Amino acid sequence: MKKIINNPENYVKEMLEGIYIAHPDLVTYTADDVHCLIAAKKVEGKVGIATGGGSGHLPLFLGYVGEGMLDACSVGDVFQSPSAEQMHAVTKAIDSGAGVLYIYGNYNGDIFNFDMAAEMADFEDDIKVLSVVAGDDVASAGPSAPGEKSTRRGVAGIFFVYKCAGSAAANMMSLDEVKRVAEKASANVRTMGVALTPCIVPRVGKPGFSIADNEMEIGMGIHGETGIRHGKLESADQITDEMLEKIISDVPYTAGDEVDVLINGLGATTLDEQYIVTRRVSKNLADKGIKVHHFYVGEYATSLEMAGMSISMLKLDDELKALMEKPANTPFFKQI
Amino acid sequence: MKKIINNPENYVKEMLEGIYIAHPDLVTYTADDVHCLIAAKKVEGKVGIATGGGSGHLPLFLGYVGEGMLDACSVGDVFQSPSAEQMHAVTKAIDSGAGVLYIYGNYNGDIFNFDMAAEMADFEDDIKVLSVVAGDDVASAGPSAPGEKSTRRGVAGIFFVYKCAGSAAANMMSLDEVKRVAEKASANVRTMGVALTPCIVPRVGKPGFSIADNEMEIGMGIHGETGIRHGKLESADQITDEMLEKIISDVPYTAGDEVDVLINGLGATTLDEQYIVTRRVSKNLADKGIKVHHFYVGEYATSLEMAGMSISMLKLDDELKALMEKPANTPFFKQI
């Protein structure tokens, strides 16, 4: 395991301590627990937005707490949900009377704990909490009967949900309105990923799965969940086209649509490669009459040091476009 | 070679095309050559700053062209210098009468070509060009007799030189003054790196060297140049302390000094690990009475997908501190 770390037991705690040292102007923590990260500044009367999830995905999740985006993130161990108590602690810290919206990815541990935290905040503190469970992954969207819970996982596209909801809250919209915006963004974002190598959870010390030297896995999840196709490594253009086809037919996105696009590196894949993919996405979408409003390129949601990338698309209307364009200032995302 | 690319011959061209697609508001190119990158906006009367160098180091070098930093970057093939003609082309494009400053790393190919480009700009176009050759690497600073050329390579610390000089130019200082600032920053910045894995140049298709599974190389250069110590992989705290000792004794930095610190990922190393290093740097410097003004953490200068990191320190005075704090807006570096 080639990592620059100390005792793996202290991995998350030491990482968090580094975050607070590097970004004291933007983030701090509450309840004497470094896992309970909150924005350094509280805006009175604003709806609070909290997220949470396992570590190992930086800048997801905690990196989007700051001005114009999220107000809190409870942080779990690597690939593990934080506890309901930690979620409850940040909820109390960020509420200023306008209520709190939870936005988090569709994973069972997170759902269970966030639901419990919402009940605690309601019963113990009389804080109104609403939730949006984001699921943007195309690969895991199995068939589900009407009314049945979706199996669609939350991956990099949650960035778009955070940004739209964060801007809505910064515009002082009500809790119901911020929830409506988050749900609209979530319904219009889709993501596909491809993995080239596994990653190593520090406490485990070895990869949980393997991908052969000349192979890739299309649709793999950000914790190494099985994808939809395992095969020979293809060219950037071929991979991009296959992923786009699956994304586009899902929402669906059609000629005349305007979209924001996120090209996301999973860890070890270079920015050069991400821009080579950007070039192909641009050509492919232009051929289909889909207009790109803005490209976001870089590491937005990683799987430790996994090699691979994902493509996310958000279908825009006038409201979402204006919310996406609003400035933001977080440790990891700055928009001027 | 697990990369998401097309024909390796087109690697740099396709990467650059992706950059122009993603960032049309900030950068464009001149002379009908995508390797001749310039800022989208020209500020009349401002000193122009140009850099250049090989690809494979994103966001170095071209990623710092934009508002408040650099005005141009000529881009070579992976780990190769751009040509004198390309450097000359961007020089003509960015000059607005106040002259042009070249800031680039201490590599023979770059020095040869930049010197030739400066002569071409002088003789053919009557543009005054001055140069600052940045060398911040502690590991490659062999003994050199007075007046002899330094062997000290330019690595991630050049970011600080770009930022200080870019702010000085944005403040409409004269060419001589911007050069003075760049030289002062360069004289006060030092960097040490550590590599855990090799990287693969796309055209070559296999690593140029190897590092055993349980080993690291302290002081390795960003093209795989041999470092100063090869040994067993140690803990993050041990590695950090060894690197800091070499950095601190070089300038030297002493108790009472104030510094900016850059913790830089070389490619595959996670942000988590970079923050674990940040934590130790903070403690180590506090113990020595050296005050950290600001931490910069992330991938600022990479070696393709190499695992490893570097630590850079800039000793501040009031002038450099104010220049470092000025806002900037480039594709890869945004400071609000």
Residue A192 vs residues A244, A300, A313, B317, B326: alpha-carbon distances, Å: 8, 14, 9, 48, 38
What DSSP string describes A310-327? EEEEEE--HHHHHHHHS-
Domain holding B120, by residue range, is: 11-187+324-335
How many angstroms away from the CA of B203 is the closest CA of chain A? 14
Chain A residue nearest residue B295, CA to CA: A22
At A63, list the tokens: 């990196």
Task: Specify if B273 maps to a domain.
Answer: yes
Residues A145 and A193 occupy one common structural domain = no
**Residues of A in Cβ contact (< 8 Å) with B61:** none
Nearest to B278, CA basis, from B293, B297, B251, B260: B297
Q: Dihedral of CA B92/B93/B99/B100: which sign?
A: negative
Asked if residues A7 and B312 have their Cβ atoms less than 8 Å apart, the reply is: no
Task: Give chain A's end-to-end CA distance (angstroms, integer).
Answer: 39
Catalytic residue (one of A88, A223, A293, A294) = A223
Residue of B189, B190, B191, B180 whose CA lies nearest to B319: B180
> Which DSSP letter does residue A73 get?
E
Same domain, A330 and A250: no
> Are A126 and A267 contained in the same domain?
no
**Nearest-by-CA chain A residue for B14:** A276
3-state secondary structure chain B: CCCCCCCHHHHHHHHHHHHHHHCCCCEEECCCCCCEEEECCCCCCCCEEEEEEEECCCCCCHHHECECCECEEEEEEECCCCCHHHHHHHHHHHCCCCCEEEEEECCHHHHHHHHHHHHHHHHHHCCCEEEEEECCECCCCCCCCCCCCCCCCCCCCHHHHHHHHHHHHHCCCCHHHHHHHHHHHHHCEEEEEEECCCCCCCCCCCCCCCCCCCEEEECCCCCCCCCCEEEECCCHHHHHHHHHHHHHCCCCCCCCCEEEEEEEECECCCHHHHHHHHHHHHHHHHHCCCEEEEEEEECCCCCCCECEEEEEEEECCHHHHHHHHCCEECCCCEEC
Amino acid at B251: V
Domain count for chain B: 2
| 3-class secondary structure, A175 | helix
Determine the pLDDT at residue B317.
Answer: 98
Residue A148: the pLDDT is 76
Q: Which pLDDT value is given to residue A150?
A: 85
Q: How far apart are CA A9 and CA B222, in angstroms?
A: 31
Q: Which residues of A touch B308 (CB under 8 A)?
A: 4
The pLDDT, as a whole number, for residue B231 is 97
Least CA distance to B271: which residue of chain A? A58
> Are residues A270 and B336, on separate chains, in Cβ contact within 8 Å?
no
User: CB atoms < 10 A from the CB of A146, how many?
Assistant: 4
What residues in B contact A329, CB-CB < 8 Å?
Answer: 336
Q: Is A258 exposed, middle or buried (0-12, 13-18, 19+ CB in 10 A)?
A: middle
Cβ B302–A239 below 8 Å, yes or no? no
pLDDT value at residue A134: 95
A1 located within any domain: no
**pLDDT at residue number A144:** 66
User: Do A18 and B279 make contact, defined as CB atoms within 8 angstroms?
Assistant: yes
Task: Return the closest-CA partner of residue A199 out of A188, A191, A207, A187.
Answer: A207
Query: Is residue B3 one of the residues assigned to a domain?
Result: no
The domain that holds B161 is classified in CATH as: 3.40.50.10440
Calpha distance B325→A105 (Å, rounded): 36
Q: Is A17's pLDDT higher than 70?
A: yes
Partner residue opposite A15 with nearest CB, options B3, B197, B272:
B272
Mean of the pLDDT values across residues A75-89? 98
Distance of CA B179 to the CA centre of its chain: 17
Per CB-CB distance under 8 Å, the chain B contacts of A276 are: 4-6, 11, 14-15, 18
The verdict on a CB contact (< 8 Å) between A276 and B5 is: yes
Please list every residue in chain B whose beta carbon sits closer than 8 Å to the beta carbon of residue A282.
18, 21
pLDDT at A64: 98
Q: What's the pLDDT score for residue B144?
A: 66
- Which residues in chain B have their CB less than 8 angstroms from residue A308's CB? 4
* Digitized pLDDT (tens) for each residue of chain B, 336 residues in all: 899 999 999 999 999 999 999 999 999 999 999 999 999 999 999 999 999 999 999 999 999 999 999 999 999 999 999 999 999 999 999 999 999 999 999 999 999 999 999 999 999 999 999 999 999 999 998 776 677 778 899 999 999 999 999 999 999 999 999 999 999 999 999 999 999 999 999 999 999 899 999 999 999 999 999 999 999 999 999 999 999 999 999 989 999 999 999 999 999 999 999 999 999 999 999 999 999 999 999 999 999 999 999 999 999 999 999 999 999 999 999 999
Residue contact B279–A14, C-beta within 8 A:
yes
Beta-carbon contacts of B208 under 8 Å, excluding residues fewer than 6 positions away, are: B198, B201, B224
Residue B288 lies in a domain: yes
Strand partners, B74: B36, B52
Out of B5, B22, B273, closest to residue A278 by CB: B22
For strand A72-78 and strand A48-55, is the pairing parallel, antiparallel, or unpaired? parallel
How far B159 CA lies from chain A's nearest CA (Å)?
A: 18
Choose from A261, A271, A291, A335 for mutation: most chain B CBs within 10 A.
Answer: A271
Q: Which residue has the tokens 């690197």?
A: B243
Answer yes or no: do B147 and B209 share one domain.
no
CATH of the domain at A294: 3.30.1180.20
- Could you tell me if A154 and A135 are in contact, meaning their C-beta atoms sit under 8 angstroms apart? yes
pLDDT tens for A264-277 read 999 999 999 999 99
Q: Same structural domain for residues B177 and B51?
A: yes
Q: Which residues of A172-195 are buried (b: 16+ CB within 10 A; e: fewer)?
A: ebebeebbbbbbbbbebbbbbbbb
Given a contact cutoff of 8 angstroms between Cβ atoms, the answer to whether B155 and B141 are in contact is: no
Is A223 an active-site residue?
yes
Q: Do B21 and A268 touch (CB under 8 A)?
A: no
Residue A39 lies in a domain: yes
Whether B132 and B25 share a structural domain: yes
Average pLDDT, chain A: 96
> What distance in Å separates the CA atoms of residue B143 and residue B106, rounded to the nearest whole number?
16
CB within 8 Å: B274 and A5? no
Compare A208 and A34 and report the one with higher pLDDT.
A34
Residues of A in contact with B197 (CB under 8 A): 2
**8 A C-beta contact, residue B155 and residue B221:** yes
The answer as to whether A3 is a domain residue is: no
Do A50 and A174 share a domain, yes or no?
yes
Q: Are A2 and B302 inside 8 Å of each other by CB?
A: no
Is A121 strand, coil or helix? Answer: helix
Q: How far is A299 from chain B (nearest CA, A)?
A: 10
Q: Which residue of the set A23, A35, A57, A294 is catalytic?
A: A57
For residue A24, cis peptide bond before it (omega within 30 degrees of 0): no
User: Of B58, B269, B271, which has the smallest distance from its Cβ to A59's Cβ?
Assistant: B271
pTM: 0.98
pLDDT in tens, A224-241: 999 999 999 999 999 999
Looking at the DSSP bridge assignments, the partners of residue B292 are B259
Residue B268: which of A268, A271, A275 has the nearest Cβ? A268
Q: Do A58 and B270 touch (CB under 8 A)?
A: yes
Provide the 10 A C-beta neighbour count for residue A219.
23
Based on the fold, state whether residues A14 and A121 are members of the same structural domain: yes
Residues A42 and A157 reside in one and the same domain: yes
Instruction: Determine, yes or no, domain membership for B1.
Output: no
Q: Give the residue from B63, B70, B81 showing the smallest Cα distance to B103.
A: B70
Inter-chain residue contact A21 with B279, CB threshold 8 Å? yes
Q: Are B272 and A307 an interchain contact pair (Cβ–Cβ within 8 Å)?
A: no
- Residue to mutate among A270, A293, A296, A334, with most B CBs inside 10 A, is A270
Same domain membership, residue B195 and residue B152: no
Does residue A27 surpass a pLDDT of 70?
A: yes
**B180 & B194 share domain:** no
| Two structure tokens written together for B274 | 């970079």
The answer on B273 and B230 residing in a single domain is: yes
A177 found inside a domain:
yes
Mark yes or no for CB contact A16/B235 under 8 Å: no
Residues of chain B neighbouring A41 (CB-CB closer than 8 A) = none
CA distance B27 to B39: 4
What's the mean pLDDT in A36-62? 97
The reported pLDDT for the residue numbered B150 is: 85
Complex ipTM above 0.95? yes
